[in-house]
Amino acid sequence: MDFLNGQESLTAIQWILRAIIAFFFLLFATKIMGQRSISQLRLLDFAMAISLGNIIAHPLSDEGLGMKGSMISMSVLVILYTAGVLLSLKWASFRHFIDPLPIPLIKNGQIVSANLRKARISVDFLLSELRKEKIEDVQKIALALWEPDGSISSFLYPQQQPPTRADMNMVPEPFSLPFNLIKEGKIDYDELNKTKFTEDWLKNKLTSTYNVDIRDVILATIDKNDNLQVFLYKS
């Protein structure tokens, strides 16, 4: 176990053993801290990101450290990460360890206090996340889940959901994205070529309708109905 202590030099095998121990130690440490500590990141992704960041930072900031050991360590971690992803696809137990099942926080309009403690979040945090989804009343929620990435998914009762076009028997129009003709003062010719318009038409339109030059435009879009929207730089 001498490879765990500071030494003037380490063999390749010692570097590999260090990387393996550090990787699994970080996995278990993160698991103990809970999902909130890595909000929006999966357990395996978080462990990988923080490990690689620290490994590459030290030799870049300390001239006394060589790159060989760090490169070996990073290679081992990349292999472990890839293996972890493959294992999670084939081995359900491992998948549930790194990506645990969602935890119900609200059921049938009632807060499940035991699961709040399990997720290690407070009522204030839960209410804050609900407000971000424009939900002001817990009793409107049929189910709210604490997801493995640290986010909350909420599902309203059907009678609390806003009506859709299907509910009102309205025929929806086909979805289409507008074309971004100008971005940051420059014409996007790839986008322009997807439309029936030309560069001369665009320049003339900007001059006649908006009295501006292309360089003054931060964004210009045109939709399927040929409606041109122009957004200018503001000083």
Q: What percent of the chain has pLDDT over 70?
A: 77
Give me the helices (H) in the chain, please: 12-33, 43-61, 67-90, 92-98, 113-119, 123-132, 189-192, 199-205
Tell me the pairing of strands 186-187 and 228-232: unpaired
- 128-178: pLDDT as tens digits: 999 998 898 999 999 999 987 778 999 999 888 888 777 788 877 777 889
Q: What's the predicted TM-score (pTM) here?
A: 0.55
Mean pLDDT by 10 residues, the chain (235 residues): 51 73 67 53 69 64 58 76 81 79 92 90 91 91 88 90 79 83 94 93 92 93 92 83
